[in-house]
Structure 1
Amino acid sequence: MDRILFLGTGDAMGVPRVYCDCSVCMEARQIGVNRRLRSSVMIEGASGSFLIDCGPDWRSQMETLAIRMTDKVLVTHAHFDHIGGLPEWADACRWTGRKGQLYAPIEVITNIVAQFPWLKNNLELIAIDYGIELAGWRISGWKVCHGKNGYSYAYRLEKDDYSWVYCSDAINLNHTEKQPMFGLNLLVLGTSFYHETAEFSTRSVYDMKEAELLLKEITPNKVIYTHMSHDVDLNQQYPLPMEVTLARTGLRVDLI
């Protein structure tokens, strides 16, 4: 049985934020329910495993799970909170004599190489603009609006009669960008706030109220929100649609 494991569920800054004494950050320091590393998931299955994104918390995430290596990483976009762990992964590959496989659209690979030109010494950089199969999952990606931060990629994964989408960084999707999100068993969606009050043109990720409107349109069977900032308190009960769950570090969900 294949499963998705949430390694990190935080936004670009993580929780707690080092400068912040809000109730969520203080709880994250003291108890830890709200402690959130940068967003990443592992797909586990009988046919293998792979990560989606490799942020700056990659090493901590691997150590927590007592996992010494990952061989395959699928990247959504070249922002630091999604690729900051690539140098450490590449170094691990160097020391263990393995060649990791990094999968992303060609423009994302180009942006990654511009930041970390030495990665190609220890990682195989594989463009997936026309799709890829990993661990038995047929994967197709498409560009989605990331607001003021430009763009990201979302991925639709299909195996047998199960379909799900990972879309961690998106906002204000247009008609074309929504089309691959119909007919889903599961949607994993980034929602940094419950309700974000910043001026819309300055924003880059859905809030939960906006996401609810998206869900009414695309009607996925199940939804998990991730990429959450310190605005979101897992000790609270938010008025969310019944199909929605808030991700927690270590959450495992069966993909059946």
Structure 2
Amino acid sequence: MRLTLLGTGDAVGTPKIGCNCPTCADAREGGKSQRLRFSILVESDQGKILIDTSPDLRQQFLRQRLSGIDGVIWTHGHYDHYAGFGEFYRVQNRVDVYGVRETLDYIDQYVSFLKPRYHHVKLYDPFELIGLRFTLFKVYHPPVETPAGVIISDADTVKVVVTGDTSSNIPEKSLELMKDPDLLIADAIVPPHIHIKKHMNSEEAMALAQKLNAKEVVLTHLSHLFRPHNIESMFLPLGYDGQVFEF
């Protein structure tokens, strides 16, 4: 199993338009503070799956030299997690997409012209793609009705947990399922001194990693409010665009 963080930014990305803070300045100069919007590429020897389709998907495909994938999993219906699906236009037809019914029904209003093949998934029910097992679990990301995180496992030997967009108020049923991951990819949109109702800050994300007994954690969905990457990454396991994890 191989995972690539295609985009590690929040909804506006870094640099933020019109911002001249040190982090945005570093991003403009080509540093690791430069963050496209959120997408993850999951690969096995049987294929490729995207978790969410960033508005920056075209750029991400070009960077990774991708020409097609075997399916998409959508975690929820926020713009920065699905809007790039339109980049499949004239590239790949009839893409298989997976998610809970509420999410797929909402996104269909915007992407129906691409005629994706919808596969409705129930929370907590595993399903298999490209030789890997995926499970969606409920998180808390108001006002989204049914936001989901994703568990990826490889023959019960490797377990990767992607929290998706969430606050720390994750249901107990989900927490139980998330325990003991080899890798936790955690939403951590802001530094510890800032609190946002629908996202975790970095302190809350690190506390979750400890609670779950995660062997490794990487923080993603990061805003420009962190210090430049080369500084902040000395203290926190910040993800960066193009970062790869292999198992």
- Give me the whole-angstrom Cα distance separating, in 1, the residues matched to 2:239 and 2:150: 18
- Give me the whole-angstrom Cα distance separating, in 1, the residues matched to 2:118 and 2:159: 26
Matched ranges for 1:1-256 at <5 A: 2-93=1-92, 98-120=93-115, 123-129=116-122, 130-147=125-142, 151-160=146-155, 161-171=157-167, 172-198=169-195, 200=196, 203-232=197-226, 233-237=228-232, 240=235, 245-255=237-247
- Give me the whole-angstrom Cα distance separating, in 2, the residues matched to 1:166 and 1:212: 14
List per-residue Cα deviations over 1:215-237 (Å, max 9, x = no partner): 22211111111110001221114
Shift in Å, 1:150: 5.1
> Aligned Cα RMSD in Å?
1.9
Distance 1:20 1:108, change over 3 A: same
Unmatched 5+ stretches in structure 2: none
- Give me the whole-angstrom Cα distance separating, in 1, the residues matched to 2:244 and 2:98: 23
Unmatched 5+ stretches in structure 1: none
List per-residue Cα deviations over 1:124-155 (Å, max 9, x = no partner): 11112233211111111122101455552011
Distance 1:147 1:238, change over 3 A: farther
- Structure 2 residue matching 1:70: 3-state secondary structure: coil
Percent of pairs identical after alignment?
A: 27
8 Å contact kept, 2:102–2:146: no
Shift in Å, 1:9: 0.4
- Give me the whole-angstrom Cα distance separating, in 2, the residues matched to 1:215 and 1:65: 29
Q: Matched residue pairs, number?
A: 242
State the TM-score, normalizing by the size of structure 1.
Answer: 0.88
- Structure 1 residue matching 2:147: 3-state secondary structure: strand
- Give me the whole-angstrom Cα distance separating, in 2, the residues matched to 1:99 and 1:174: 34
State the TM-score, normalizing by the size of structure 2.
Answer: 0.91
